[in-house]
Amino acid sequence: MFNSRIVIVLSVAALVLGIGLCAVGQETETLRDAATSAGELALTYIDSTATYIGQGIVYILNLITGDRISHDLEKPVGYLGLITGILLLFALLDAARKIIWIGIIVGWALLIVRIVLDALRV
C-alpha cells in the first residue's frame, strides 16, 4: 500500500515536471541534456553521500580496531549505511506520523489565532 503511494506521487511529479519543461518551449535535445545532467547530479549526490558515510564508519572502526580496517571498504560500507539510514527513516516516519499530525494541527490553530488577532486589532 505504501509503495503504491510513492509510485503514484513520483509519477505525478514526473508528469508535472515534464509538462512544465515542455511548456517552456525547450527543444528535445535540450530536454535530454537537462534530464541527463539532472540524473548525473542525483547519482553523484548519492555516491558522495555514501562515500562520506563510509569514511565516517571506517574512521570510527579504525579508532576501535587500531587501523586494521582497509579504506577500500569505504564505498560498500557507505552504501550499506545509506540504505540502512533510509530504512530507519521510513520506520520512524510510520511511528512519528501521529506526532507530525499533532504538530500540524497545533500550527494551523496558532496561525488561525494569529489571523483573528490581527483582524481584530484596531
Give yes or no for residue 1 having a pLDDT over 60.
no
What does the pLDDT average to over 48-69? 90
Q: Under a CB-based contact definition with an 8 Å cutoff, are residues 17 and 38 in contact?
A: no
CB atoms within 10 A of CB 79: 17
Pick from 67, 71, 75: which is nearest to 47 by CA?
Answer: 75
Say which DSSP state 67 is in.
Answer: S
What percent of the chain has a predicted confidence (pLDDT) above 70? 70
Specify the pLDDT at position 41: 85
Quickly state the pLDDT bin for 53 (edges 50, 70, 90): very high
Give yes or no for residue 68 having a pLDDT over 80.
yes
C-alpha cell belonging to residue 119 = 483582524
Give yes or no for residue 28 having a pLDDT over 80.
no
- Domains in the chain: boundaries: 2-96
